[in-house]
Structures are given as C-alpha cells and as structure tokens.
Structure 1
C-alpha cells in the first residue's frame, strides 16, 4: 500500500477554499423570537465584514424547515450545513467562513 502524502494524514480533511461571494449563510428563525433577532445581528455583521451573502428563512412559512428545526431556532447554516443553533458566536462564525 502506498504511503499517504503528508498532505493527507489521518484525520485531516481536504477542503476547498471558497471566495466570500461563493459562500452562503442561512439564518432559520421565526417571528417574535428574541434569540433569532440576536442571531440576525451577528450574521449581518459578520457577513457584511467578510462580504458573504446571507438569507433569512422563516419556519412558520416552510413546513419542512419547521419539522426539522422547530426546537432549535435560530439555526445557522453555512453552505447548507448546520453550523450552530440557539446562540451564534461571532468568532466561531468568522472562523467557519474563513476556512
């Protein structure tokens, strides 16, 4: 068996770096949710600073999102994958978008 190059050691993942404009942050929430409002403030700030587009989705308008996330709102997705829920840490989101 050939040796793995040092670039692909055990436990390392090869990831493609995307330009900020190619990323997408999705905030899933609902009206009247103070945690959602707090999360939106963090998402808006980080995305504006980094030039990353973001979108907001309302679980009360989408049955599939409601079934998937009703206990976790707000939920933040980065490029379609769940990043966090309930509280958004600004530094953690910046790090996720930088890599």
Structure 2
C-alpha cells in the first residue's frame, strides 16, 4: 500500500511578497581612481541600494586588467546582478525599480 504525498499549499500573497523582498541583489559600481563622476555616482546610489536591501560592491577597474579592458573610460558603470544597468549617469527611480523586482 502506498501512502499519498501530502499536498503542498501554494504560497500566500504575503509569503510571495516576503520572498520577493528577501531576494538579495548585488549592485557593482565600476570606478577609476581619478574619476570625479564615480565618486558622485557612488554617493548618489548608496542610499538607493541600502533602501532596497541590496549589496553594493565598488570595483576599481584600475586594479584589474580584465575590468579595465571591458570598462576603460566608460566609468562609472552600474552593474545589477551581473547585467550592465547604466553608464555615466544613473536614474535613482529606475535603479530602485530594478532592485524592487
């Protein structure tokens, strides 16, 4: 005799919302040592990233040949979850919307 598998309930709307809110995004900011815009964008996006509960990683492309070859003088570049999001300028509302997904 075989016992039936217990039925699993579908997650409630609240549980789905909590799962969505606990998804941790990683935001990488590609910068160069002498880039004034990089410092400005870093200060600009810090509160947006923090409010979303995401992780912010700043990478100096001057210290990595592969990153320097890829990003060069296009910095600052914002990368969200390994996908390039923006270069040079960042719209805070668009970044917040991306991190809310």
TM-score by length of 2: 0.75
Q: What RMSD, in angstroms, separates the aligned Cα atoms of the two structures? A: 1.6
Aligned 8 A contact 1:22 1:52 in 2: yes
Aligned to 2:54: 52
For 2:50 and 2:24, the matched residues in 1 are separated by 14
Aligned to 1:63: 65
Partner residue of 1:86 out of 73, 85, 88: 88
Unaligned ranges ≥5, structure 1: 1-16
Unaligned ranges ≥5, structure 2: 1-18
Aligned residues: 83
For 2:82 and 2:20, the matched residues in 1 are separated by 14
SS at match of 1:22: coil
TM-score by length of 1: 0.76
> Cα 1:18–1:67, aligned 2, differ >3 Å: closer, same or farther?
farther
